[in-house]
Amino acid sequence: MPQFSVMANPVRIKNKKASFEYFLIEKFVAGIVLTGTEIKSIRGGKASINEAYCAFTKDELFVRNMHIAEYDYGTYNNHEPKRERKLLLTKRELKKLKSKLEEKGLTLIPTVLFINEKGLAKLEIALGKGKKLYDKRETLKQKDTKRDLERSGY
Protein backbone atom coordinates (compact mmCIF):
# COMPACT_ATOMS: atom_id res chain seq x y z
CA MET A 1 0.00 0.00 0.00
CA PRO A 2 1.52 3.38 -1.00
CA GLN A 3 2.36 5.82 1.77
CA PHE A 4 1.32 9.43 1.23
CA SER A 5 4.05 11.86 2.16
CA VAL A 6 3.16 14.99 4.04
CA MET A 7 3.26 17.88 1.61
CA ALA A 8 5.88 20.50 2.40
CA ASN A 9 3.68 23.20 0.89
CA PRO A 10 0.04 22.64 1.92
CA VAL A 11 -2.38 24.57 -0.27
CA ARG A 12 -4.85 26.67 1.70
CA ILE A 13 -6.49 29.47 -0.32
CA LYS A 14 -8.74 31.67 1.83
CA ASN A 15 -11.53 34.10 1.07
CA LYS A 16 -10.58 36.87 3.50
CA LYS A 17 -13.55 39.06 2.59
CA ALA A 18 -16.10 36.39 3.56
CA SER A 19 -15.94 36.90 7.34
CA PHE A 20 -15.91 40.68 6.89
CA GLU A 21 -18.91 40.80 4.54
CA TYR A 22 -21.05 38.05 6.13
CA PHE A 23 -22.01 36.50 9.46
CA LEU A 24 -20.95 32.88 8.91
CA ILE A 25 -23.65 30.65 10.40
CA GLU A 26 -22.79 27.09 9.41
CA LYS A 27 -19.86 25.50 7.53
CA PHE A 28 -19.69 22.49 5.22
CA VAL A 29 -16.81 20.78 3.42
CA ALA A 30 -17.55 19.80 -0.18
CA GLY A 31 -15.58 17.98 -2.84
CA ILE A 32 -15.15 19.61 -6.26
CA VAL A 33 -15.38 18.05 -9.71
CA LEU A 34 -12.18 19.15 -11.48
CA THR A 35 -10.23 18.38 -14.62
CA GLY A 36 -6.56 17.33 -14.61
CA THR A 37 -5.13 20.76 -15.41
CA GLU A 38 -7.31 22.41 -12.74
CA ILE A 39 -6.01 20.26 -9.88
CA LYS A 40 -2.43 20.89 -11.02
CA SER A 41 -3.02 24.66 -10.93
CA ILE A 42 -4.60 24.41 -7.46
CA ARG A 43 -1.62 22.42 -6.18
CA GLY A 44 0.54 25.24 -7.49
CA GLY A 45 -1.57 27.71 -5.49
CA LYS A 46 -2.90 29.48 -8.57
CA ALA A 47 -6.56 29.88 -7.65
CA SER A 48 -8.80 32.58 -6.20
CA ILE A 49 -12.17 32.30 -4.45
CA ASN A 50 -12.62 35.98 -3.55
CA GLU A 51 -15.31 36.61 -6.17
CA ALA A 52 -16.87 33.13 -5.96
CA TYR A 53 -20.37 32.17 -4.83
CA CYS A 54 -22.45 28.99 -4.77
CA ALA A 55 -25.79 28.44 -6.45
CA PHE A 56 -28.20 25.60 -7.11
CA THR A 57 -29.02 24.43 -10.64
CA LYS A 58 -31.92 22.00 -10.35
CA ASP A 59 -30.86 19.83 -7.40
CA GLU A 60 -27.10 20.19 -7.83
CA LEU A 61 -24.82 22.73 -6.19
CA PHE A 62 -22.26 24.61 -8.29
CA VAL A 63 -19.54 27.11 -7.43
CA ARG A 64 -19.46 30.01 -9.87
CA ASN A 65 -16.85 32.65 -10.59
CA MET A 66 -14.03 30.70 -8.88
CA HIS A 67 -10.86 31.50 -10.78
CA ILE A 68 -8.33 28.72 -11.36
CA ALA A 69 -5.44 29.92 -13.54
CA GLU A 70 -4.64 27.94 -16.66
CA TYR A 71 -1.95 25.33 -16.12
CA ASP A 72 1.41 26.53 -17.47
CA TYR A 73 2.25 23.23 -19.17
CA GLY A 74 -1.28 22.50 -20.36
CA THR A 75 -1.75 22.14 -24.09
CA TYR A 76 -5.04 22.24 -25.97
CA ASN A 77 -6.46 20.31 -22.98
CA ASN A 78 -6.29 23.38 -20.74
CA HIS A 79 -9.42 24.40 -18.86
CA GLU A 80 -11.51 27.57 -18.87
CA PRO A 81 -10.44 29.64 -15.80
CA LYS A 82 -13.90 30.70 -14.54
CA ARG A 83 -16.13 27.78 -15.51
CA GLU A 84 -18.85 26.44 -13.20
CA ARG A 85 -17.66 23.55 -11.04
CA LYS A 86 -19.95 21.03 -9.41
CA LEU A 87 -19.73 20.60 -5.63
CA LEU A 88 -20.09 17.16 -4.07
CA LEU A 89 -22.19 16.90 -0.90
CA THR A 90 -24.52 14.26 0.49
CA LYS A 91 -28.21 14.37 -0.48
CA ARG A 92 -29.12 15.27 3.10
CA GLU A 93 -26.71 18.23 3.13
CA LEU A 94 -27.93 19.44 -0.27
CA LYS A 95 -31.55 19.27 0.84
CA LYS A 96 -30.75 21.14 4.07
CA LEU A 97 -28.82 23.86 2.21
CA LYS A 98 -31.52 24.30 -0.41
CA SER A 99 -34.19 24.82 2.26
CA LYS A 100 -31.95 27.28 4.16
CA LEU A 101 -31.23 29.29 1.02
CA GLU A 102 -34.94 29.86 0.49
CA GLU A 103 -34.91 31.89 3.73
CA LYS A 104 -34.50 35.60 3.23
CA GLY A 105 -30.97 36.99 3.16
CA LEU A 106 -28.95 33.76 3.33
CA THR A 107 -26.28 32.84 0.80
CA LEU A 108 -23.51 30.27 0.30
CA ILE A 109 -19.97 31.59 0.25
CA PRO A 110 -16.75 29.63 -0.36
CA THR A 111 -14.37 30.35 2.54
CA VAL A 112 -11.36 28.04 2.08
CA LEU A 113 -10.02 25.98 -0.83
CA PHE A 114 -7.59 23.29 0.34
CA ILE A 115 -6.01 19.94 -0.51
CA ASN A 116 -6.77 17.23 2.07
CA GLU A 117 -4.38 14.52 3.29
CA LYS A 118 -5.46 12.20 0.46
CA GLY A 119 -4.52 14.81 -2.14
CA LEU A 120 -8.11 15.75 -3.05
CA ALA A 121 -9.25 19.35 -3.52
CA LYS A 122 -11.95 20.38 -1.05
CA LEU A 123 -13.91 23.59 -0.70
CA GLU A 124 -15.20 24.79 2.66
CA ILE A 125 -18.45 26.64 2.12
CA ALA A 126 -20.36 28.63 4.70
CA LEU A 127 -23.98 29.65 5.03
CA GLY A 128 -23.83 33.40 5.52
CA LYS A 129 -26.05 36.36 6.21
CA GLY A 130 -24.92 39.73 4.86
CA LYS A 131 -23.60 42.30 7.33
CA LYS A 132 -24.79 45.88 7.44
CA LEU A 133 -22.32 48.77 7.37
CA TYR A 134 -22.44 49.29 11.15
CA ASP A 135 -21.69 45.57 11.70
CA LYS A 136 -18.60 45.89 9.52
CA ARG A 137 -17.44 48.90 11.55
CA GLU A 138 -17.88 46.89 14.74
CA THR A 139 -15.79 44.07 13.29
CA LEU A 140 -12.99 46.53 12.45
CA LYS A 141 -13.09 47.96 16.01
CA GLN A 142 -12.78 44.48 17.50
CA LYS A 143 -9.80 43.68 15.24
CA ASP A 144 -8.07 46.94 16.26
CA THR A 145 -8.55 46.38 19.99
CA LYS A 146 -7.34 42.78 19.70
CA ARG A 147 -4.24 43.91 17.81
CA ASP A 148 -3.53 46.64 20.42
CA LEU A 149 -3.86 44.14 23.27
CA GLU A 150 -1.43 41.74 21.60
CA ARG A 151 1.10 44.52 21.05
CA SER A 152 0.95 45.62 24.69
CA GLY A 153 1.62 42.04 25.81
CA TYR A 154 -1.71 41.01 27.36
Domains of the chain, by residue range, sit at 12-152
Percent of the chain with pLDDT over 70: 94
Tens of pLDDT, residue by residue over 29-70, are 999 998 888 888 888 888 888 988 898 888 899 999 988 888
87-104 pLDDT, tens digit each: 999 999 999 999 888 878
**CA 74, CA 61: separation in Å to the nearest integer?**
27
Would the CA dihedral through 16, 17, 23, 28 be positive or negative?
Answer: negative
> What's the predicted TM-score (pTM) here?
0.78
128-149 pLDDT, tens digit per residue, is: 888 888 888 888 898 899 999 8
Q: What pLDDT is recorded for position 7?
A: 52
* Residue 4 clears pLDDT 70, i.e. is over it: no
Closest CA to 20 of 138, 147, 149, 150: 138
Strands (E) across the chain are located at 12-14, 22-32, 47-48, 53-57, 60-64, 67-68, 85-88, 106-115, 121-130
101-110 mean pLDDT: 86
At residue 154 the predicted structure's pLDDT band, cuts being 50, 70 and 90, is: low
pLDDT the model gives residue 122: 92
Q: 2, 63, 72: which is closest to 38 by C-alpha?
A: 72
- What is the predicted pLDDT for the residue at 75? 74
Contact 110, 96 (CB under 8 A): no
Superfamily of domain 12-152: Small protein B (2.40.280.10)
Quick check: 28 pLDDT over 70?
Answer: yes
Q: Residue 46: which of 109, 111, 121 has the closest Cα?
A: 121
**pLDDT of 111 strictly over 90:** yes
112, 15 Cβ separation under 8 angstroms: yes
**Whole-angstrom Cα distance, residue 20 to residue 144?**
14
What pLDDT does 16 receive? 86
